[in-house]
Amino acid sequence: MLEGKKGPVIQKAMEILYRLGEIYGAERMLPIASVHMPGSSVVVSGKAGARFVSEVADGGGKFRVFTTLNPAACDLHEEHPGIFEPDLVALQHELTRAYGAMGAVACHTCVPYLVGNVPRLGQHVAWGESSAVAFVNSVLGARTNREGGPSALAAALVGRVPAFGYHLDEGRRGTVVVRVGASLDCMEDFGTLGYFVGKVCGDSVPVFVGVEQADLDSLKMMGAALASSGAVALFHVVGVTPEAPTLDSVVRSRGTPELYFGSEEKAATAAQLNRASRSEVDLVVLGCPHVSVTEFRRIAELLAGKRVHSNVELWVLAPLQIQVMAERAGWVRAVKEAGGRVVADTCPVLGAIRPLTQRLPYRSLATNSAKLAHYAPGQWQLEVHYGPMERCIAAAIRGYWE
């Protein structure tokens, strides 16, 4: 491949991976089971990136492994007039077409593991999108580094990655023990825990002790938060995640640094995220990371027979495949009849939604996502209310946060 015997596209891709391997001291290449492609939104790739992907596709590039796409810049399934920037929407269709021509599945979601990209324990993969990387490494026990757009594209074309970092046993050992004393009563509490630990731990591998059970939605929330306040790509929960049956199985020495998360830390972290100065709420966003079937059902239950306040815009972000199931169950109708909006394929962070935030005098956002609460002030200068889904929906109905 490196010598060009498989053509110039593969040669270029292998050069990228080979150089990466050299930089990080990899001794070999590993075959991979799948790719999840970051840079699937033109907001991230930009025009130059989109053009580059189109050139690779037009040059005959074909993906050698199962590849899914991260959120796009817009909803490709349903038009939402006035929401997305029209020129970027056209460019997004081009980018999605180019990836599709190479064999990618255009699911455009940050939860590919809920819609068919489900690697097994110990398999090597090349995934981007920080929240998805944290989930696939930690909850599924597959092995990936945090891939960027070029390296993920190269890995999809070649079907291999250099062996370093989280692909190796050594890179997967816990480096900080987090003792959890606070009660974790809802999935948002897991997000708060993740936000607290990410901020302190940076790119360490935290090992949580004292979490007796955690459902997939909670672990999804926690991974996204760990990867937003910090750069955590892998965590272990003793007795819960597959590589941590016991503390000793993932931590090498007794001298590993420790951290404590009790009720005081929980309250302080939630207060840090929930910092809006005014009680009115303009925008409510649920689904960062994109909602699961169980979250969608809960949202529909909470909205049934209710009406979103006329001053509030409510978004439910869902993968298209989950939206189809929700449609059959009547949950999409429940959200729309209440005055909410169901959005597929995109999200406020990766979406081309500038016209919306500029046109309307939005000042405050309510969300149950620690990740979104982290990004919203910097990205749109929005004040944030942060709390459980139930509080967010109550605020959407009342028009203010109580």
Asked if 179 contacts 159 with a C-beta cutoff of 8 angstroms, the reply is: no
Residue 298 contacts ligand F3S per CB under 6 A: no
Q: Is the distance from CB of 321 to CB of 345 less than 8 angstroms? A: no
Region near ligand F3S per CB under 6 A, out of 31-39, 54-62, 243-251, 347-355: 347-355
- Shortest distance (Å) from residue 22 CB to ligand F3S: 31
Minimum CB distance to ligand F3S, residue 288 (Å): 3
Is residue 232 within the footprint of ligand F3S (CB under 6 A)? no
Segment contacting ligand F3S by CB under 6 A, of 31-39, 46-54, 284-292, 383-391: 284-292
Dist CA 203 CA 193 (whole Å): 16
Q: Which of 236, 290, 298, 385: binder of ligand F3S (CB under 6 A)? A: 290
CB of 261: closest distance to ligand F3S in angstroms? 22
**Cβ-based burial of 264 (10 A; exposed 0-12, middle 13-18, buried ≥19):** exposed
d(CA 359, CA 280): 18
Binding range to ligand F3S, per CB under 6 A, among 55-63, 86-94, 321-329, 344-352: 344-352
Q: Does 317 bind ligand F3S (CB under 6 A)?
A: yes
173, 298, 371, 374: residue in contact with ligand F3S (rule CB under 6 A): 371
**Judged by CB under 6 A, how many residues of this single chain contact ligand F3S?**
13
- Rounded to a whole number of angstroms, the minimum distance from the CB of residue 220 to ligand F3S is 9
Cis peptide before 289, with omega less than 30 degrees from 0? yes
Of the candidate spans 93-101, 275-283, 319-327, 343-351, the one that interacts with ligand F3S by CB under 6 A turns out to be 343-351
Q: Binding of ligand F3S at residue 110 (CB under 6 A)?
A: yes
Q: Say what the alpha-carbon torsion angle 158, 160, 163, 168 is, to the nearest 10 degrees.
A: 160
Helix (H, G, I), strand (E, B) or coil at 142: coil
* Cα(290)–Cα(153) distance, integer angstroms: 23
Q: Using alpha carbons only, how large is the chain's radius of gyration in Å?
A: 21
Name which of 250 and 350 has its Cβ closer to ligand F3S: 350
Please tell me the distance from the alpha carbon of residue 323 to that of residue 111, in angstroms, as a whole number: 13
Mark 86-105 with x for binding to ligand F3S (rule: CB under 6 A) and - for no binding.
Answer: --------------------
Q: What does 216-263 look like in DSSP terms, one character per residue?
A: HHHHHHHHHHHHHHS-----EETTTSTT-SSSTTTB--TT--EEEE-H
> By C-beta, is 17 or 125 nearer to ligand F3S?
125
Which C-beta is closer to ligand F3S: that of 131 or that of 174?
A: 131
The answer to the question of residue 349 lying near ligand F3S (CB under 6 A) is yes
CB of 161 to ligand F3S, least distance (A): 22
230 binds ligand F3S (CB under 6 A): no
How far is the C-alpha of 126 from the C-alpha of 38, rounded, in Å?
10
Closer to ligand F3S by Cβ: residue 110 or 251: 110
- Smaller CB distance to ligand F3S: residue 237 or 372? 372
Question: Closest approach of Cβ 214 to ligand F3S, in Å?
Answer: 18
State the minimum distance, in angstroms, from the CB of residue 318 to ligand F3S: 10
The letter for the amino acid at 152 is: A
The enclosing H or E element of 179 equals strand 176-180
Handedness of CA 179, 184, 190, 196 (dihedral sign): negative
Query: What sections of 140-206 are H helices per DSSP?
Result: 149-158, 187-201
Count CB neighbours of 324 within 10 A.
14
Give the residue, chosen from 123, 131, 292, 367, that forms a contact with ligand F3S under the rule CB under 6 A: 131
30 versus 318: smaller Cβ distance to ligand F3S: 318
Tell me the two tokens of residue 114.
């809920």
Nearer to ligand F3S, 14 or 144 (CB): 144
The CA distances from residue 243 to 4, 30, 131, 174, 297, in Å, are 39, 20, 19, 10, 31
* Rounded Cα gap, residues 327 and 62, in angstroms: 34
Residue closer to ligand F3S, measured from CB, 20 or 110? 110
Q: Among residue numbers 31 through 70, which ones bind ligand F3S (CB under 6 A)?
A: none
Give the footprint of ligand F3S on this chain (CB under 6 A): 71, 110, 131, 224, 288-290, 317, 347, 349-350, 371-372
